[in-house]
Structure 1
Amino acid sequence: MALVIPVILCGGSGTRLWPLSRSGFPKQFLVLSGDGSSQSLFQQAVQRIQTVASPEITLGPTLVVTGEDHRFLVLDQLRELKNVEATLLLEPVGRNTAPALNMAALCAEQLIQDKNQDQDPILVITPADQTIQNQAAFTQALQDCIQTVQGATNAIAILGITPTAPETGYGYIQRSGEKDQNNACTVARFVEKPDSKTAQAYLAEGSYLWNSGMFVLKASTWLNAVKEFRSDIFEASQKAWLSKSEDSSGGVGFIRPGKEEFKAIPSDSIDYAVIEKCPGSQFPIKMVELDAGWNDLGAWDAVWQVGQQDVSGNVTSGDTLLTNTKNSLVHASSRLVSAVGVENLIIVETADAVLVADRKNSQDVKNIVSQLESQKREEKNLHRKVARPWGWYDSVDEGERFKVKRIQVKPGASLSLQMHHHRAEHWIVVKGVAEITNGDQIITLTENQSTYIPQGQTHRLSNKGTEPLEIIEVQSGSYLGEDDIVRFEDTYGRS
């Protein structure tokens, strides 16, 4: 009986899918697959691995490695899934995927020890931002990978994607020899993203597959391999793990490695640190071929490819009107978007930004994000509507010395007890019942009632009811940035 622990790598900011994907709400939390699913890419990744359970395979808790800033996005989306037991490993900073997998392997070993089980758990590792069209083929390929590593010492199995084009945006895996009883063949070597001519040669030669970034190995195998190839990452990760802290929310465990110790871990990817060094080593690496409509949605052109195209090759979302338009993607978030007489375009509208790009150049959206970063523009990080652990806020208007927000607070939730140095606030309740701490007073307001929070006054907004609470907040003052918040108490560990 194999004990399998899914590991979902849920980092990254998806800059090539701006303006829909931003660092505050990256692509893995978006619904982008184009197959009519209402689940985000992250939710699909979690659900996909659940299907490998069988009489020979027991599924353990899912480990999600994500950033501290995204923990409540993950938590909210996990709550929408049923019967998924999960633990969140929260990185204080991004250190690439090798340290992330170190944390997951150490956590998996601890989970087994805590249950007094004498097993070496098998980790199934997948990024959180991919799509699969053929679930049955995916499940079978993963089960083949699990069988490949179960009875072998230090074995690794990786999923190689059947190539459909001379793609220059993916790394490649060269296979060697025939398939064994588990449909696995030996990996001869890994090669980096090729130029167009080399990619054409790989496709014609027939032994090269795309590197999916999904692989299977035992927790001990990964730790032995990283200790062999990158002892500096191994040792620094051990220090961060030993200084971890643990808490929970809504029945989901949070594990935080030591902040300063984690920052000291050298940054490197799983591939560079370990996987590419395995062929021919004491860590035998096998590949199982996957032909299941895989896509990593690395740019808007990929979203167009997996989308439901109309007779003119267009993929649309939201309120759109098209005429004499072909082979384009048009995404409307907050208003009507129309296109006339264009071809091969990407048009993406959000409440605060519009992207227009040639489909063949959609990878270059990252250059726009770089310009936003250099200009310190907020559109790089946050949407106009921003998710918070207690609900959300939408910045509906802004001018000199004022800002207007629409705020929704979940039932039973509350904002932090806080104060602002540079602004005062007016709150008007438009829906629900608000409990408001305003200095020494605690008051209750209902629809159409309001209160004033002077500059420097300690205050808090809470929803004690069973329905969502909505207010309009009008800020006024010399500085209205989100960093003008002094928190005294906070339910979500931010004070």
Structure 2
Amino acid sequence: MKIYPVILCGGSGTRLWPMSRGGYPKQYLRLTGENTLVQQTALRLNGVSNVAAPIVITNAEQRFLVAEQLRGVQVAPSSIVLEPVGRNTGPAVAVAALLARQQSDDALLMVLPSDHVIMDEERFASLATSAASIARDNYLVTFGIEPTEPHTGYGYIRGGASLGGNDAAYQVERFVEKPDSATAQRFLQESGYYWNSGMFMLKASAYLEELGRHEPAILTQAELAVQAAKRDADFVRLDAAAFAECPNVSIDYAVMEKTERAAVVTAAGLGWNDIGSWTALAEIAPTDDKGNALIGDVLAEDVSNIYVRAEHRMVALVGVEDLVVVETADAVLVAHRDRAQDVKRIVEQLNQSGRHESVTHRKVFRPWGSYEGIDQGDRFQVKRIIVNPGSSLSLQMHHHRAEHWIVVRGTAKVFNGDNEMLLSENQSTYIPLGVTHRLENPGKIPLELIEVQSGSYLGEDDIVRFEDVYGRVPVR
């Protein structure tokens, strides 16, 4: 019975602002090593036996980001499913179950959030094997983490009757909402309570059966969304109208808290962390003898219990303690370690005021490469553009701006109105307002250029696309 991993790539990760943002959430960041969290999740599957290519679920805005990151670690998913709207994990897992059942009637799903850290991957593989053996008997298995502290940020699972096996496995007695401090302390003292990790192992058929029993509207709409889905290159686009009618419900509320088949496999020493705040990340970071984690270009004098992350500039600290300091190209966060959970309130303020810093970084990734804002003022804007080898921007025009392109590195193939030209380093061209144009990189190294925009309006929505290899031209 083959295991079909389901990698969930939703979520905004607002509590890790300013690095994690709406358009570039934490699963795509390198927070704990050389690989991003979504890459770590995909590579973790290499240690699990009898695993199929993963089903990845994300949204249309992040489709090229997740595809490129998986290609970067040589992981080929069986499909990348695009949700037209976010509808939580209940419908997402339903869609994955329907797709997996198309490949195998007895498919096992291993549902994995893409924004968690697991330090002991051998232990994870062993736990997955135990969970699979239990799920084959039609149990819906959740992975419970043995608590090490009275944590109030996690939901808990109360284990019931033992199911035996190499790892501790139990029927689920009940699920518990995130407790207050006193209740969490009691759970820790009583034992038998486990953190709800959000990871699951279950038969696709068993999940769909229980979903039909407890949340039939989700099953109906998920079936319609899959039946009317369209394949576009590497992507499966769910039918927007059908999927939008799915109730917005988590897998816990939809099925796990209602079914009589719920089971939990429990793990100690897994090194699991959902990185729900900067404090959580600080707890797993290497520190010096004063409890400081200093990442990047950091100078510190007489400081203790500090987490500092300098991404672009030098950060200097003197005589402070118990702080989180995170520096990015366009924002700096300073917070007390005990208040790191409240960073989401800053994001709420940004959203209310319409500021872009809650959604995008100064560097924005596109399917063809990236662009980064360097300077801007009244009627002008300067960007650094990188185009990947063999990639091209859409054939487009602008109503309100003209553009100057200066090649810094590589070779550019430029279509400028009726003219086609090759530009090498230190050469430039001018794109007048209203002229149709396209930029390509025909070379084998990244193309780097400086773009100077000038005009009455410089917003990214002043783009009229005529042709696009990435499916961004609306159907007329």
Would you say same fold, with TM above 0.5?
Answer: yes
Tell me what 2:127 maps to: 141
- Could you tell me which amino acid in structure 2 is paired with residue 181 of structure 1? G
Taking the aligned partners of 1:78 and 1:10, their CA distance within structure 2 comes to 12
Tell me what 1:67 maps to: 59
Classify the secondary structure of the residue corresponding to 2:117.
Answer: coil
Are 2:97 and 1:105 equivalent residues in the alignment? yes
Taking the aligned partners of 1:212 and 1:185, their CA distance within structure 2 comes to 15
Tell me what 1:471 maps to: 449
Taking the aligned partners of 1:288 and 1:121, their CA distance within structure 2 comes to 23
Taking the aligned partners of 2:145 and 2:372, their CA distance within structure 1 comes to 41
1:48 Cα deviation from its structure 2 partner? 1.4
Match among 329, 337, 343 for residue 365 of structure 1: 343
TM-score, normalization: structure 2? Answer: 0.97
Match among 150, 157, 176 for residue 166 of structure 1: 150
Taking the aligned partners of 1:264 and 1:445, their CA distance within structure 2 comes to 50
Structure 1 residues 156-305: aligned runs within 5 Å = 156-183=140-167, 184-248=169-233, 253-278=234-259, 281=260, 283-305=261-283
1:420 Cα deviation from its structure 2 partner? 1.0
Distance 1:83 1:46, change over 3 A: closer
Taking the aligned partners of 2:325 and 2:10, their CA distance within structure 1 comes to 26
1:263 Cα deviation from its structure 2 partner? 1.7
Taking the aligned partners of 1:380 and 1:181, their CA distance within structure 2 comes to 46
**Residue ranges of structure 2 left out of the alignment (5+ in a row):** none
Classify the secondary structure of the residue corresponding to 1:46.
Answer: helix
Tell me what 2:113 maps to: 127
Structure 1 residues 428-439: aligned runs within 5 Å = 428-439=406-417
Q: What count of residue pairs does the alignment treat as equivalent?
A: 472
Residue by residue over 1:297-354, the C-alpha shift from the partner in whole angstroms, topping out at 9 and shown as x without a partner, is 0000001001111111111221111111111110111110111111110100000000
8 Å Cα contact 1:31-1:40 kept in structure 2: yes
1:398 Cα deviation from its structure 2 partner? 0.8
Classify the secondary structure of the residue corresponding to 1:59.
Answer: coil
Residue by residue over 1:2-41, the C-alpha shift from the partner in whole angstroms, topping out at 9 and shown as x without a partner, is 21111111111100000000111110011112xxx30111
Distance 1:327 1:86, change over 3 A: farther
Taking the aligned partners of 2:262 and 2:58, their CA distance within structure 1 comes to 29
Tell me what 1:21 maps to: 20
Classify the secondary structure of the residue corresponding to 1:169.
Answer: coil
8 Å Cα contact 2:211-2:218 kept in structure 1: yes
Stretches of 4+ moved more than 6 A in 1?
Answer: none
8 Å Cα contact 2:42-2:75 kept in structure 1: no
Q: Bigger CA drift: 172-181 or 21-30?
A: 172-181
Tell me what 2:9 maps to: 10
1:68 Cα deviation from its structure 2 partner? 1.0
- Cα RMSD over matched residues? 1.2
Taking the aligned partners of 2:189 and 2:268, their CA distance within structure 1 comes to 18
Tell me what 1:310 maps to: 288
- Could you tell me which amino acid in structure 2 is paired with residue 160 of structure 1? G
Classify the secondary structure of the residue corresponding to 1:177.
Answer: strand
1:247 Cα deviation from its structure 2 partner? 2.7
Classify the secondary structure of the residue corresponding to 1:277.
Answer: coil
Distance 1:320 1:86, change over 3 A: farther
TM-score, normalization: structure 1? Answer: 0.93
Tell me what 1:41 maps to: 37
- Could you tell me which amino acid in structure 1 is paired with residue 406 of structure 2? I
8 Å Cα contact 1:145-1:288 kept in structure 2: no
Classify the secondary structure of the residue corresponding to 2:12.
Answer: coil
Structure 1 residues 383-394: aligned runs within 5 Å = 383-394=361-372
Match among 420, 425, 428 for residue 447 of structure 1: 425
Taking the aligned partners of 1:179 and 1:344, their CA distance within structure 2 comes to 44
Classify the secondary structure of the residue corresponding to 2:48.
Answer: coil
1:84 Cα deviation from its structure 2 partner? 4.3
Taking the aligned partners of 1:201 and 1:84, their CA distance within structure 2 comes to 45
Residue by residue over 1:172-200, the C-alpha shift from the partner in whole angstroms, topping out at 9 and shown as x without a partner, is 00012335124311110000001111111
Classify the secondary structure of the residue corresponding to 1:291.
Answer: coil
Are 2:409 and 1:418 equivalent residues in the alignment? no
